[in-house]
Structure 1
């Protein structure tokens, strides 16, 4: 997915996988550490830890060993949030496999997630000492905002309507600040200026918004063979995704009644529920509208990256990554 760089022959993904594979967890308690090993073994796209390295690489930092601990910390934190989010969402699958709480139970998943967060801070302590205060400032800010975003997401479940602006702010906090923070942490280790770090963070933040909008789109319109999660899962649980929000604001009075009846359908009617909701999506051209919004934030990301004062050649990998994320099938 990501090409070679000044860091050497192995690509960034392989380097991070190697670092994760070399981490030693205690043998026991088994029910604390085995779930951690399990979630890390599911081998997601490793986007966030790669962004840490890309953030450093952009500014010419050539010592990958100084960057890897921060990359691992970001990966640990991300997987900690996945474990806990899956509990809250009652999700059965993660990356095509059983979620931790499904494979063990909620109590085990909560505690294993907590331990993984502590392990993230343990990794940050291994970074060059001169950068640790700035790294912690960025990491803690992002971590708290992710929690705020998750709470907003849960709050949305109990309100009748969510505006497009409210939704975008929620996914900015829940998803995109971590991408921006990962890039900024790499830039910190590369000793980039505050102005350059901010532009890189803005690139990551806007890319993250577009990334989540694409995830919403794939949930309804993705290929079940490649998506890794249940297609239509958001529809089944009446999740207020961008598709749901864009549809609701366009509905006629008659279709509003149909929409309301679809929301009331039970889990035993899930296939029919998905089909009927997608019919409304198609009737109101919701997919095109969601794609247009995704493209807007993608272009905002590209603009921020273009403004960073380094040679264009050094930006190629970030542009390529952005293109890959925005037009992915899973």
Structure 2
């Protein structure tokens, strides 16, 4: 049995010795920097766990799995520029530590290096993998554009929001699992089940992030609780509150959203109370469980007796239970 901890150590060791390029240093140092900031690395881990169900030789899956993580961090580097974010994982973002132009160019090279890592795939599988990767990459960009579009709208529906996070976040999770199956030679039906599992779980993870930002334990969550409320970020919770609030609650919510100057702690407390009165937490938890259940159901449908299927399921259940 191959356990997630062993695979994670292997992935990290590969990243530690991997070179993205050397000169000019101003181009490559930011890449090494953002990749050294850590992160959960669960996308490449999911690729290896999926591959392990159907093939014990995981060496051929290592570099393609790394490609998923490099691409993910490329999107983070560019997202940080668009969001003007000062911090990433508690450290200065690349555009803050260097400058925006450097962050754009270094991010571009990261995308190229992701393709370099994918080229390690066997020739007979390469075209199909690149087609799926290209579609996924385009969808991630589509999701980011929708997210930016939503910044100027107050009529975003639940359906639109779910569609946006599916593109921006969950399709890459789906691809990570799908990729493992493709590399290991799984059949088309199995690959589709793996993708569906990741897609649904990805939506569940984003909804859980939205929930934890308001109701999470600050010591476990790892960042400021209530940050989305302070920024008027259109999360699942706010969208549901805007659709459900009536009368005095609607007046209060609209007033808090319209203020340019306010006490942050007071705003977080007031908006959270509105969420409580509208039972937004329970509704969100129901949605989270719904998407996680769909994802786990897809994994359970995999037709294999491999013990690694149970390893993958157990790892997914640990991710579902996370509080940060």
Same fold (TM over 0.5): yes
In structure 2, the partner of 1:24 is: 19
Q: Report the alpha carbon displacement of residue 271 of structure 1 after superposing the two structures with TM.
A: 2.5
Q: Which moved more, 1:261-270 or 1:273-282?
A: 261-270
In structure 2, the partner of 1:47 is: 42
Segments of structure 2 that go 5 or more residues without pairing to the other structure are none
Structure 1 CA distance for aligned equivalents of residues 206 and 149 of structure 2 = 18
CA offsets 1:173-195 (integer angstroms, 9 cap, x no match): 11111011011111111111111
Structure 2 CA distance for aligned equivalents of residues 170 and 38 of structure 1 = 29
CA offsets 1:273-307 (integer angstroms, 9 cap, x no match): 22221111122121111111000001111111111
In structure 2, the partner of 1:309 is: 303
Asked if 1:259 is matched to 2:253, the reply is yes
CA contact (8 A) 2:165 2:206 kept: yes
Change (3 A) 1:179 1:114: same
CA contact (8 A) 2:71 2:114 kept: yes
Asked if 1:245 is matched to 2:239, the reply is yes
SS at match of 1:62: coil
Asked if 1:293 is matched to 2:287, the reply is yes
Alignment: residue pair count: 324
Change (3 A) 1:112 1:90: same
CA contact (8 A) 1:93 1:229 kept: no
Q: Report the alpha carbon displacement of residue 254 of structure 1 after superposing the two structures with TM.
A: 1.4
In structure 2, the partner of 1:5 is: 2
Please give the TM-score of this superposition, normalised by the length of structure 2.
Answer: 0.95
CA offsets 1:84-128 (integer angstroms, 9 cap, x no match): 111222222222222222222222211111111111001111222
Q: Report the alpha carbon displacement of residue 265 of structure 1 after superposing the two structures with TM.
A: 2.5
Structure 2 CA distance for aligned equivalents of residues 149 and 295 of structure 1 = 23
In structure 2, the partner of 1:94 is: 88
Q: 2:10 aligned to 4, 8, 15, which one?
A: 15
Structure 2 CA distance for aligned equivalents of residues 170 and 226 of structure 1 = 27
Q: Report the alpha carbon displacement of residue 314 of structure 1 after superposing the two structures with TM.
A: 2.8
Change (3 A) 1:163 1:197: same
Structure 2 CA distance for aligned equivalents of residues 317 and 157 of structure 1 = 40
In structure 2, the partner of 1:111 is: 105
Structure 2 CA distance for aligned equivalents of residues 48 and 204 of structure 1 = 10
Structure 2 CA distance for aligned equivalents of residues 65 and 202 of structure 1 = 25
Segments of structure 1 that go 5 or more residues without pairing to the other structure are none
Q: Report the alpha carbon displacement of residue 224 of structure 1 after superposing the two structures with TM.
A: 2.6
Change (3 A) 1:277 1:312: farther
Q: Which moved more, 1:248-257 or 1:24-33?
A: 24-33
* CA root-mean-square deviation: 1.7
Asked if 1:68 is matched to 2:62, the reply is yes
Q: Report the alpha carbon displacement of residue 72 of structure 1 after superposing the two structures with TM.
A: 0.8
